[in-house]
Amino acid sequence: MLQKNYSGFILETGTDEAGRGCLAGPVTAAAVILPEDFENQILNDSKQLSEKTRVHLKPIIEEHAVCFAVTHLLPDEIDEINILNASMKGMQECILKLKHVPEYIIVDGNRSLNAKLGLKNTFGKQFSMEEIELLKSIPNQSIIKGDAKFLSIAAASVLAKTYRDEYMDQIHEEFPMYNWKKNKGYPTKEHREAIKKHGTTKYHRMSFRLLPEQLKLEF
């Protein structure tokens, strides 16, 4: 069973992201504060759950959470600041969107939430000094495989994954030849063959290796 709390603070926020390894679409982050009495026997790391279960859990998390926030960081920003920084920035933006200022933050992974703040990027949100100072002031702890250990991080992983999947389903309608409705932008054989045949779109991450070395884009 997943643990309810790491720090002992009531307003402890769990945060996570989805879509870091994709060739197209956003990296999506989420942050969730759950009430002290929240319990759910199904909730787990989103990667361990079926799509049907994640969709079932999404409204339950949203209804019972003290507050939550979700952020998409788009390919232009990912290409400019790199995927690791974009993943972290997405989680930072979620913290700033929450209706309550967290007393403590637990982050899935091995990087502190404050690893980089206030990147001077062209695309996306620019942090003010006040926002940077607020983020610096909140203690946080990175937890390896935290989405399989703590309820709030698991909840954030489910929201990040479901909101990102919904986004990919929407842009699939614009570019159905890549079948994002099925592969969600991940580097499947089908997706890469479609890139080889049709080229790239505004939703592809141009800083990523979109094709293996044996396949080359033709211009």
Give, in order, the Cα–Cα distances in Å from 2 to each of 6, 46, 58, 81: 11, 13, 17, 33
- Helices (H), ranges, the chain: 51-64, 75-81, 83-97, 129-137, 151-172, 180-183, 189-198
CA-based end-to-end distance of the chain:
53
Sorted by sequence, the CB contacts under 8 Å of residue 217 that are 6+ apart come out as: 195, 196, 199, 200, 210, 211
- Does the annotation flag 169 for ligand binding? no
Is 147 within any annotated ligand binding site?
A: no
Nearest to 141, CA basis, from 96, 102, 185:
102
The answer to whether 16 is a known ligand-binding residue is: yes
| DSSP conformation class of 200 | -
Annotated binding site: 16-17, 108
Annotated binding site for a divalent metal cation: 16-17, 108
